[in-house]
Chains A and B, each alone.
Chain A
Amino acid sequence: MSETDARSYTVRLELVDEPGELLRALEPIADNGGNLLSIFHERGNLTPRGRIPVEVDLEATPGKFDDIVEALREAGVNVIQAGAERYSEELTVVIVGHLVETDLSDTLQRFQECGGASVADLSLSAPAGTGDVSSARLRLVASEGRSERALSTLRGVAAEKDLRVIEPLTEGSA
């Protein structure tokens, strides 16, 4: 896919419940060459900060999409999540070892910081207690083309903490 091809993106915004707020949020999208596909205004729902979540589906080239996100932030609109959701890559891995003793939250945090991926889901199984070998299944969401980098970060952190990583088989992987 070339840089000039438009793709679908989902942007999740937080709006203050005041008149004109929605229009203010949509203008930067149109002004920067984005094509609005749908707007889901969840009026009955509030974010933890008491604001209204709005989900906007739009089409734009990757370059213009970056401009849109920047323009939204400049306009003071809080962008919770922005990305080519439909093109993101999901992978599941199982890690095995002394997960708890080697600080699982540190493992996950370091992984998120430099892997270009986020941990969407975690299941821990420690049948012999947290002091023994346990296993965790992680569902990771990486942006497009970042899966390999995410895995390599995970391998690095795991090697340092003497954990085993059971990686998924990915298409064309080596």
Chain B
Amino acid sequence: MRLAVVGAGAVGASVVELAGEYDHEIVALADSSSAAVDDSGLDAASVLDRKRDSGRVGDADPADALEADYDVLVEATPTTLGDAEPGFSHLRRALERDRHVVLANKGPVAERYGEVRSLEADSRGSVLFEATVGGAIPVLSTIDDLNGQVTAARGILNGTANFILSRMAAEGLGYEHVLAEAQDLGVAEADPTFDVEGTDAALKCVILANVLYDDSYALEDADVEGIADLPGSALELAAEDGRTVRLIGEVADGAVRVGPRLVPETDPLSVSGTQNIVQLETSHAGRLNISGRGAGGPETASAVLADVGRLPPLE
């Protein structure tokens, strides 16, 4: 397939770098201010070198990438809340041109799922978004393979929050201390709000709800509580009783809920560090646990490229 990648952050850059291994070609790459377009295929190393050295990927306008001769648009711009722009417009343009879209950006399917599905219905292109939930973990494709047999999903979908909670529990350290440590390690961003207030996990759960119930949930439909300023004493009391606290997202009985929960220390959900895990309840096969890396450039890119491989050929 011929890919146009919009967004040249960790995920977009990794898609460009790894596409060749999957026998795909990159014909366009755009960041927020520039683009490189070449119908005969871009050289991954040189375009990424240029981005690193000059901050620009090429001399073209970002809009040119959207008009390039591609089969699949990989949308990897940062997730935005509310109208999910500019990701949503990028997706719409690709579908209007009857091209496929693979999302790493959660916005369009978390905030405007109904519109995405109706644009897709009018297009010869399809939309896949495995990378938006649980990074490298094949969550959505597993749900799809189970053919409507998944009745509920829960899990740990934010590595930053999980890192903070597991460090607090393991070292008996306070929230502020561990947050600062996570920021030093690059596990938490300078502004950690999105992760520690539960927003990121909630967006992923909203996407799961949209897929499980084929409905249009958005962030405001989720009941969200974060882990910010949780005292160490709460984790100590939990530990005395063989339990720990984890930021759990749940989709069940039509409701979406994210919040800190007590989990037995020996439970499969008690993953440590930045690991993510998703637990699926199925009608005939009980419970499935899938865990792995929920974030990171190459990890998320592997989910993007797996989606590209699932797409049908465009007539």
Q: For A134, give its contact among B233, B243, B245, B261 (CB under 8 Å).
A: B233
Which chain B positions have C-beta within 8 A of A134? 231, 233
Q: A61 interface residue, CB < 8 Å from B? A: no
Contact B257 A174 (CB under 8 A): yes
Which chain A positions have C-beta within 8 A of B154? 169
**In the complex, A6→B137 CA distance in Å?**
47
Q: B69 interface residue, CB < 8 Å from A? A: no
Q: A130 interface residue, CB < 8 Å from B? A: no
Chain A contact-residue range equals 20 to 34
Q: Which of B108-116, B247-255, B302-310 contacts A (4 or more CB under 8 A)?
A: B247-255
Distance from A136 Cβ to chain B, minimum over Cβ atoms (Å)? 7
Q: For A167, give its contact among B230, B253, B254, B259 (CB under 8 Å).
A: B259
Q: A105 interface residue, CB < 8 Å from B? A: no
Q: A126 interface residue, CB < 8 Å from B? A: yes
- Interface code A48-67, partner B: CB below 8 Å = 1, 0 otherwise? 00000000000000000000
**In the complex, A133→B176 CA distance in Å?**
15
- Interface code B261-300, partner A: CB below 8 Å = 1, 0 otherwise? 1110001010000000000010000000000000000000
Q: B241 interface residue, CB < 8 Å from A? A: yes
Label chain A's interface by main secondary structure.
strand
Given known contacts A164-B225, A169-B248, A169-B269, A125 and B237 CB-to-CB distance under 8 angstroms: yes
Contact A137 B240 (CB under 8 A): yes
Q: A142 interface residue, CB < 8 Å from B? A: no
Which chain A positions have C-beta within 8 A of B281? 172
What total of A-B pairs shows CB separation below 8 Å? 73
Q: For A169, give its contact among B225, B254, B263 (CB under 8 Å).
A: B263
Which chain A positions have C-beta within 8 A of B253? 174
Distance from A84 Cβ to chain B, minimum over Cβ atoms (Å)? 24
Which chain A positions have C-beta within 8 A of B252? 172-174
Q: A93 interface residue, CB < 8 Å from B? A: yes
A residues 124-154 near B (Cβ < 8 Å) are 125-127, 133-137, 139
Give the 8 A-B residue pairs with the shortest CB-CB distance, closest first: A125-B233, A137-B237, A135-B233, A174-B252, A135-B234, A174-B255, A174-B253, A168-B262
Can you name 16 extra interface pairs (CB under 8 A) apart from A135-B233, A169-B263? A93-B262, A94-B237, A96-B231, A96-B234, A125-B233, A137-B240, A139-B241, A166-B262, A168-B261, A169-B261, A169-B267, A172-B252, A173-B252, A174-B252, A174-B253, A174-B254
